[in-house]
Structures are given as C-alpha cells and as structure tokens.
Homo-oligomer: A and B are copies of this chain.
Amino acid sequence: MNAGIRINGERLLGRLQQFAAIGGTAAGGVNRQALSVEDRIARAELARLAADRGFAVFQDPMANLFIRREGSSATESPFLLGSHLDSQPMGGRYDGALGTLAAFEVLETFEDAGIHTPIAVETVAWTNEEGSRFAPGVMGSMAFASGAIPTEWPGTFSADGAMLKDELAATLAALPQASRRPLGSPVSGYLELHIEQGPALEREHIPIGIVHGIQGTRWLEVVVTGQTAHAGTTQLAFRRDPLVAATESLQALYASVMPNDEQARLTVGRISVEPASINAIPGKVAFSVDLRHPNVLELDRLEAHVRSICEEKAAALGCKASVRRTFDMPPAQFAPRLLTAVEQAVTRLGIPSKPMLSGAFHDALFLARVTDAAMIFVPCRDGLSHNEAEFVEPDHSVLGAQVLLESTLGALGLR
C-alpha cells in the first residue's frame, strides 16, 4: 500500500517560484528577513494554502508556524517536517524555503493520496533562522528546544531600529486565524530537507546527502601583543612584532589541524593590526579562529592546541598571546532510527546518496536536543549560498522532496 506515491514536482517548483517573489530582489535573490513585512506575507501565504487544504494552523510565542495534518491518533505527539522561511538580506530562493515548501508538499501529497498516518504530521517554519536582522540566528528552534524565550531577546534591536518584541507581536497578530500553542510542545521526530551550502554533493554528482550530524563550532579570539616601533629604525634584535608571532602561529595551525583530521575545520576569517600604519611595526594583532568538529572532545583538544601554539610562538618573540572563547555550539548526532529511514528511502527510490556531516548550523541542531532528528541535503550550484545567485537544479528539489516523503513514510512505519 502507498507504493509508488509521488510528490507533485510541478506544484513544488511552482511554489518555490511563488515564494521567491515575496521579497524577491532584482538580481533574482530574496530579501525576506525574519519578522519583516515580507516574512509576514510569506507566512500568511503558507497559512492560506494550508487552510485551502483543511490543515490547522498554529503559532507558538516565538512565532514558529505549524501546519497540522491530523493522523489516526489525535493525542500522540506529531511528527515534524520543516525548515525556515526567513532569508539573508541578499539571500537565495532555496535556503530554508525549499525545506519548508517540500514539507508542505509532503502534507499535500498525503492528502491527495488519501494516506492515513498513525500520528499527525506537521510542517513547521522556524522563526529567524538566519539571524541577520535580529541576532542570534536559529532563534525559533532554540527557544522551542529550551521551552523559553531568553530574557535578553525581546529588547534586541534590529539595524533598522525595530525592537524584537514589537516585531514578534506584529508577526503573531498578522495571522489571527492561527491557533496559539505553547512553546516546546512535544514532538515525536523531526526531518529537515535543506540545500547543502557546500560543494561536496555537486562535485561528486550525488543528488542526496544523508546528514548524520552537525559539527560543533567553537569561536576563539586571539590577541597577540608586542611593541609598536619605527619600521626603519628598529633592528631585528629589538623587534617584538606580534604579526611575526601571529604568522608563525597560523602557519603551525594551518599545517597541523586540517591536514591531520579530515573532519576538522579551522578558519581564520578576521585579522587586524594596530596601529595599522605602513611604516610602523604593529603593536597588536587580533584574529578570529573558527573551529569545527563532530566530536566535542576533539574540539576541546583543538582549542587547547590553538592556545598552546599561540602562547608558545608569542613567548619566543617577546610577545604575549591571549585566547578567549567567544562562542561554543556543541555538535549534534542525528537519530539512528531516522537515518535508517532515510537510507531505506533512497535505496527504495534507487537514488545515489552519501552520508555526510553538516558544517553549518540548522534548526535541526536544536530539535536533536528534544527529539529524534535528521536532515537530508540536496546539492546547490558551486556550493553557493547566502547569495542571490544560489541555485538548485529543479530535479534535485523534486528528488529531495520525494526522499523527504519516503523517509517520513518509513519513520511512521508505513514502509
């Protein structure tokens, strides 16, 4: 039963195009930042489509939006499929929107095919995944997982001068037809389809990535202090140049971290010097270190490694290094039960796939703390994301939605 049930690819691609126009930019991208007027229009449109199909609509206090298709049991916790509808200011059409609209397409296909699921299946659009208008990102799923809105969030201002609590209230009020539900109501599982935002799948010509987990992320700020002095008059023996110490530290880190562990990532995205004068030896150098690893013990080891390398190289040159941790996001391991469901789905569908890790954050990172969660990736052109040129092959969007449907059927015991 239910064999060969197919999502409606044409409908999904039409919806992607329709939502890309909400906040669409001249360059073909999308500017639909969290809790903005554009975001409210997109949410209202999804609620309207839901009502057309007879699905119930809910919002929680963080304005996370839920579309519910009932199952046989009205009391068991629902199974969630979703992603987010907000975008970067110069974002693309697929980051978030694909996962949300594919989740809704699964509900519609179930409806079209008259599928009875044992429990309710819901589409969710998490609030403010991007964090570009109000920091931090992944707000909706973070609040959902912890069951509370952190006290510092409501007073946060956006760059355009709006306060989060006002924009949140206006967003909630813009959907009066949606019922309210408390934050963090129980769920029985979560599946998220997303674009890879990296180049691996495209380069290997594999249309589906089965995401086993999300790397942990740790941000460090390294400050190396030496002594500024005249570039012309100061001999080598009298120099305490913190940029020499920083250079040696980075060279040692670049040579030792990623080449020795293919799961590790080390990136220095920011570096600055003071006084930043062409003819002055710097007095101070500051740089950021972004470390990623799926294993938290390895992250600890990497942080200690950065610390000891920087301190040692600085001391050898009469400088001083200080290393401060500015951000720490532990890794997530997705649920074997759901990963098996996705593996069996691609096998049944005969689609090439590969297991992979996500290097970027996703709402699934927080869902994994409260329920079984997993993710499915599709390739994006040149690995490009957070960019108006972001592009996913239509076939890959359709395949991704099909795998999401098939995996849901498996997870619900219908395969």
Contact = CB atoms under 8 A, between A and B. Distances in A.
Contact of A273 (B198, B229, B247, B270): B270
A199 B198 CA distance: 52
A270 B231 CA distance: 12
A74 to B, nearest CB: 40
Contacts of A232: 215, 217, 265, 290, 292, 358-361
A142 to B, nearest CB: 17
A229 B361 CA distance: 15
Q: Which 10 A-B pairs have the closest CB atoms?
A: A232-B359, A198-B233, A231-B267, A233-B359, A236-B258, A231-B290, A278-B288, A247-B250, A251-B251, A232-B360
Interface string A221-239: 0000000011111111010
Given A288-B278, A290-B278, A265 B231 contact: yes
A1 to B, nearest CB: 39
Please indicate which of the listed interface residues A259, A267, A276, A288 has the most CB atoms of chain B within 10 Å of its own CB: A267
Given A247-B247, A247-B251, A383 B278 contact: no
Contacts of A358: 232-233
A279 interface: yes
A254 interface: yes
A271 interface: yes
Interface in A348-397: 358-361, 383, 385-386
A119 interface: no
A413 interface: no
Contacts of A235: 198, 200, 262, 265
A269 interface: yes
Given A229-B383, A290-B279, A234 B199 contact: yes
Given A233-B197, A233-B359, A254 B244 contact: yes
B280 A269 contact: yes
Nearest to A253: B247
Contacts of A219: 278-279
A174 B271 CA distance: 48
Contact of A360 (B197, B233, B277, B282): B233
22 contacts: A196-B233, A198-B229, A203-B238, A219-B279, A231-B265, A231-B269, A232-B292, A232-B358, A233-B360, A234-B265, A234-B383, A235-B265, A236-B258, A247-B250, A267-B279, A269-B275, A270-B273, A270-B277, A271-B272, A271-B273, A272-B272, A279-B290
